[in-house]
Structure 1
Amino acid sequence: MKSVMRIHSTIRTFIILGLRNDPQLEILVFIFLFISYTLSLIGNLTIISLILVDSHLKTAMYFFLQNFSFLEISFTTSGVLTYLYIISSGNRAISIKACFSQIFFVVLFGATEYFLLAMMSYDRYVAICKPLHYVTIMNSRVCRNLILSCWASGLLIILPPLGLSLNLEFCDFVIDHFFCDASPILKNSCSDTWFIEQLVVFFAVLTFIMTFVCIVLSYVYIIRTILRLPSTQQRKKAYSTCSSHMIVVCITYGSGIFIYIKPSAKNEVAVNKVVSLLIMSVAPLLNPFIYTLRNKQVKQSFHDSLKRLAFISKKY
């Protein structure tokens, strides 16, 4: 028994399998991930920059959007860059410390996004249901506190199960995923992981339900207020104010729900890997386009910035 434990304790690195052990397929995956990651980075950095430099975008709505774009960059970077390195270098080994660090950041950024989406729905509720008091209610101090509460909530979600997982012994070093995810890590452990697994499920469900209820309640009041507006023009303007956020919510929660649907034991891992890849690459790429294409102020700010850059380039 002691010799077995010594073997278990010697495991210091994991091997990440990736999507499939097919070199040609991985080249296509690398190209897809690299392009989507680059475009996502450009799109979200553009939104952050526009909100920083444009005085017309200094409202609570765009402050939340700026933080959401930062989270999108952080989330996709923490999950995708490691796999891009694995494909390009061929080195699939990752230390246990690096693996747990990746889990920490992926879950932290992912959970914080859910809480931030809930805060953004509250912001839309105040803007439409209490427009005369919007500036007073959503002042800079309140916005900062709401952002800090999102990050604090994300930390509270990840720290208890991660702290307990640091003492696990591991029997297997192969991770059947393209990044360090909690499920394959727990499957590799020869310790009793029942309590940690239940804790992970509890916090995941708690995050999902809390934020989803907040969003649904906000939009119930928003829709009731919109339906009471006297003119069609006012109703259209109110709907357009919320439409971008609603689309992002549908994408985020839809993908989150789908990844927990188990089609079969045989296909579960493969489906989850593909869905996780799409969540980490496509969703952060779509969000900047959703907010810019459906937001007149952001589009106008973008056009004005391009004009200023063109003027400066002609001048020099």
Structure 2
Amino acid sequence: MENYTYNCLTLRLEGLKVTDDFMYPVFFFFFFSYLFIMFTNVGIVALVYMKKTLHQPMYLLFCNLPLNDIVGNSIMVPRLLSDILLPPSQRLISYYECVVQAFTTHMFGTTSHTALMVMAFDRYVAICNPLHYSNIMNNKMVIKLTASAWGSAFILVAILLGLTLRLNRCRTLILNPFCDNVSLFKLSCENVFINNIYGLTFSVVLFTASIGSVVLTYGKITIVCLTSKNKSLNGKALKTCSTHLFAYLIMLLCGMLVIALHRFSQYSDHRKLAAILFHIIPGVLNPIIYGVQSAEIRKFLSNAFWRREVLPFPKVETRDIVCQYINKT
């Protein structure tokens, strides 16, 4: 008969299965990716805060993405880096730290959807109602949209984790490189039917609302562009919407890949890697994608990575050169 340890406060993470030959290459890949995410996203938030010309609804709403990338990766990646260098038996984590990590992980994924949804609404108003844009997208509306993006995600995730925290635990092994809701309720020997139903409903509602809002807003934007003969409007729509849509598709595909791999136990290692890349890839690409759209952000990124200081040549008067030649002769 199998022995169970009930409600133990120390859990063990399975982590990534990395051989000794690939341990340090994998470690440095995630390490430098994390540094890039922190530097670029913190820099963009600071840039938008300091530059008054960027105090516009589009950039203020965009700041939800780098903030979400900063929080989501700061909770997950440092812990992942330390576990890569440890043997599996020493990858221990407290139950409370695991709950916090699971909450921030799901907040990251949910807020990625809700933040891009409110950004799609902003682009819809800007292109379809340009004359009323300043009246609709005022400071109060930006605050409401930001609060709804984070607030709705908080409520959905709080219910998700609340249903899991009520369960008694009889196992201690987290079958994942980091903690999430599924890994936590799999520690229980109780009936998790309600958890599965709410988790499925949660995913369906989130994906339906997210995809539906993007399809609706971009459908109306497309109709406006096709019926309008204003080349300037069409060019602006293409520029702003293509970057937003590209960022949305990257996030959507990464998230759907993780969900799909959950259904196939033989691809558990691939699922673990996909779950990690779901955090890292959007965090790396979002600053680059939106840097293409914004001249200010593009200038910041180019100065940060490709700037070279060139020492100016000292100014030499022609008279000084003639005098030096005469003195020598």
> What is the TM-score when the length of structure 1 is the normalising length?
0.89
For the 8 Å contact 1:168–1:189, the answer to whether it is kept is yes
Q: Say which SS state the counterpart of residue 260 (structure 2) adopts.
A: coil
How do 1:39-188 residues align onto structure 2 when only pairs under 5 Å count? 39-88=36-85, 91-188=90-187
Q: Say which SS state the counterpart of residue 260 (structure 1) adopts.
A: helix
2-side partners of 1:245 and 1:65: how far apart?
A: 10
How do 1:8-19 residues align onto structure 2 when only pairs under 5 Å count? 8-9=5-6, 11-19=8-16
**Cα deviation digits, residues 75-98 of structure 1 (max 9, x gap):** 111221211122345541011111
Change (3 A) 1:171 1:242: same
2-side partners of 1:24 and 1:186: how far apart?
A: 34
* Unmatched 5+ stretches in structure 1: 312-316
Shift of 1:233: 4.5
For the 8 Å contact 1:20–1:26, the answer to whether it is kept is no
**Cα deviation digits, residues 149-206 of structure 1 (max 9, x gap):** 1111011111122112113222321112110022222222111111112111111211
For the 8 Å contact 2:23–2:85, the answer to whether it is kept is no
Shift of 1:229: 2.3
1-side partners of 2:17 and 2:284: how far apart?
A: 24
* Unmatched 5+ stretches in structure 2: 311-329
**Cα deviation digits, residues 211-258 of structure 1 (max 9, x gap):** 221111010011111112214444222200211111100101111112
Partner of 1:242: 241
How many equivalent pairs are there?
Answer: 307
Of all paired residues, the percent bearing the same amino acid is 28
Shift of 1:275: 0.8
For the 8 Å contact 1:51–1:57, the answer to whether it is kept is yes
Q: Which stretch has the larger CA shift, 142-151 or 25-34?
A: 25-34
> What is the TM-score when the length of structure 2 is the normalising length?
0.86
2-side partners of 1:266 and 1:151: how far apart?
A: 33
Q: Does 2:281 match 1:259?
A: no
For the 8 Å contact 1:54–1:301, the answer to whether it is kept is no
How do 1:208-223 residues align onto structure 2 when only pairs under 5 Å count? 208-223=207-222
2-side partners of 1:301 and 1:134: how far apart?
A: 27
Q: Which stretch has the larger CA shift, 148-157 or 256-265?
A: 256-265
2-side partners of 1:301 and 1:225: how far apart?
A: 33
Q: Which stretch has the larger CA shift, 263-272 or 181-190?
A: 263-272
Change (3 A) 1:179 1:292: same
Partner of 2:325: none
Amino acid of the residue matched to residue 109 of structure 1? F
Partner of 2:317: none
Change (3 A) 1:130 1:300: farther
Q: Which stretch has the larger CA shift, 76-85 or 245-254?
A: 76-85
Structure showing greater Rg: 2
Shift of 1:37: 0.5
Change (3 A) 1:304 1:229: farther
2-side partners of 1:31 and 1:302: how far apart?
A: 22
For the 8 Å contact 2:103–2:180, the answer to whether it is kept is no
Partner of 1:38: 35
2-side partners of 1:112 and 1:70: how far apart?
A: 10
For the 8 Å contact 1:8–1:169, the answer to whether it is kept is no
